[in-house]
Amino acid sequence: QSALTQPASVSGSAGQSTTISCSGSSSDVGGYDFVSWYQQHPGKAPKLVIYDVSNRPSGVSSRFSGSKSGNTASLTISGLQAEDEADYYCISYSSTNSLWVFGGGTKLTVL
């Protein structure tokens, strides 16, 4: 069982927007602005798409954005494209004895 809670799946039509949530606690998501999001296509390595809650690495599309409210972080993907179909994971720094905590992953389907 993952420390952070993500929906198992979300879907959206091409061109629309979708949001993936990541719920934790005050020991991780709520206590620090160190949430990052990773995109993983089947058989591929994870790719960083958002770090420190809302920052985009160089080269990542501006269609990806992140935010946080309380103990819940969110990843929003606007203008959905077929290539966005993948699994998405959130990771947070944690003040518990496990330095990094993960969400269980969300499968995004683009309709």
Partner 1 sequence: QLQLQESAPGLVKPSEALSLTCTVSGGSISSSPYYWGWFRQPPGKGLEWVATISYRGSTYYNPSLHSRITISIDPSNNHFSLRLNSVTAADTAVYYCARNLRYHYDFWGQGALVTVSS
Q: Give residues in contact with partner 1 (CB under 8 A).
A: 2, 32, 34, 36, 38, 40, 44-48, 51-52, 57, 89, 91, 93, 97-105
Q: In whole angstroms, how close is the CB of 36 to partner 1 at the nearest point? A: 4
Q: In whole angstroms, how close is the CB of 33 to partner 1 at the nearest point? A: 9
Q: In whole angstroms, how close is the CB of 87 to partner 1 at the nearest point? A: 8
- Name the helix (H) or strand (E) containing 66: strand 64-69
Q: Which two tokens stand for residue 3?
A: 């420390």
Q: Which is nearer to partner 1, 11 or 44 (CB)?
A: 44
| b/e code 22-61 from CB counts within 10 Å (16+ = b) | bbbbebbbbebeebbbbbeeeeeebeebbbebbebeeebe
Q: Which is nearer to partner 1, 52 or 79 (CB)?
A: 52
DSSP state of 23: E
